[in-house]
Amino acid sequence: MKKTVLFLAAALLAAGSASAQKLVIKGSDTLGAKMVPQAAEAFRAKNPGVVFEIAAEGSTTGIAAITDSTADIGMSSRRARPTEMSAAQAKGVSMKPIIVSYDGMAVIVNENNPVTKLTLRQVEQIFAGDVNDWSAVGGNAGPFSIYTRNTSSGTYQDWKDLAMKKRDYASSSQKMAGNEQIAAEVGKNPNGIGYVGVAYVNAPGVKVVPIVNKDGNLVTPTAANVHAKTYPYARPNFFYTNGEPHGLAAQFIEYLLSAEGQAIVEKSGFIPVPVKS
């Protein structure tokens, strides 16, 4: 499902768009559904001559958009793969990653699910299809309904890398277009389980399951745990540009990495990066 957000200044619509400055941002739904539109709106309030086109279709599309020069900024919840970097280089594009926030991917279940914790091994077993029933992990009897992101999502691949030892998903898993869709399905399904970025954990009808980490501690994706690297499913989020950002892209990135911009990052539910003094 394509999500496109277009911010247009009313004055520009009235006077014509010839003088508009346009910034095209494509990629991650994790970033593009909440954080980036909110930051764009705040930036545009300070720069009313700016038009934003934001398309949130998955991290893979953001990286491809930089490679193909169809976007100024590519949003990605994962690092570009070596093959993607090589493909970009072959087209004369130098992929530059910029960390703009941090995220903790949370395991969510229906709010009525009695399970109060899961081990790293149990999470792997559930999503890889090694176990098929909630009773295998301390829950009520009933088959798992597993919800995942789709294959164009960086979160889809990051979850395989961080939670599943790069294994394939269970054949019964159901692919969703975005974090909000996963949360919605889990919220209405007593047997549902999925993963979402930390900005989406307060959706109706769901709860976060604490994880027993490698040190035996019970952890959730808080900012403290993500920065301390004690939460196992944490990751940075990126903007990609072709070489050093310049022009309007550089201005927006500078704003997002400022104290004001990172306050928006935090307000939107993500974990800020340290602000340079």
pLDDT in tens, 230-259: 999 999 999 999 999 999 999 999 999 999
pLDDT, residue 274, reads 85
- Residue-wise pLDDT for 185-202, tens only, equals 999 999 999 999 999 999
Same structural domain, 84 and 96: yes
Q: Of 77, 72, 86, 81, whose CA–CA distance to 245 is shortest?
A: 72
CA–CA separation, 190 vs 26, rounded Å?
34
Same structural domain, 131 and 207: yes
Contacts of 212 (CB under 8 A, 6+ apart): 117, 118, 119, 120, 218, 219
What value does the CA radius of gyration of the chain take, rounded to a whole number of Å? 19
- Which DSSP state fits 142? S
| Banded model confidence at residue 11, pLDDT cuts 50, 70, 90 | very low
Same structural domain, 95 and 131: no
Same structural domain, 90 and 196: no
CA 91 and chain centroid, separation: 27
- Residue-wise pLDDT for 64-74, tens only, equals 999 999 999 99
The SS3 of residue 128 is helix
CA 197 and chain centroid, separation: 6
Specify if 98 maps to a domain: yes
Specify if 275 maps to a domain: no
Specify if 273 maps to a domain: no
Same structural domain, 75 and 87: yes
Same structural domain, 44 and 21: yes
Could you give the percent of the chain with pLDDT greater than 90? 89
| Banded model confidence at residue 20, pLDDT cuts 50, 70, 90 | confident
The SS3 of residue 91 is coil
pLDDT, residue 5, reads 54
Specify if 121 maps to a domain: yes
Same structural domain, 121 and 76: no
Specify if 276 maps to a domain: no
Same structural domain, 111 and 20: no
- Which DSSP state fits 143? B
| Backbone φ and ψ of 109, nearest 5° | -135, 170
Could you give the percent of the chain with pLDDT greater than 70? 93
Specify if 208 maps to a domain: yes
Q: Is the pLDDT of residue 33 over 80?
A: yes
Which residue has better confidence, 276 or 185? Answer: 185
| CATH value at residue 240 | 3.40.190.10
Same structural domain, 43 and 115: no
Same structural domain, 185 and 114: yes
| Banded model confidence at residue 40, pLDDT cuts 50, 70, 90 | very high
Which residue range(s) make up the domain with 8? 3-102+236-267
Total length of the chain: 277
Same structural domain, 133 and 207: yes
Same structural domain, 76 and 150: no
Q: Is the pLDDT of residue 1 over 60?
A: no
Q: Is the pLDDT of residue 7 over 80?
A: no
pLDDT, residue 275, reads 80
Q: Write out the two tokens for 147.
A: 């919800």
Mean pLDDT value across residues 110-121: 98
Question: In total, how many domains does the chain have?
Answer: 2
Specify if 274 maps to a domain: no
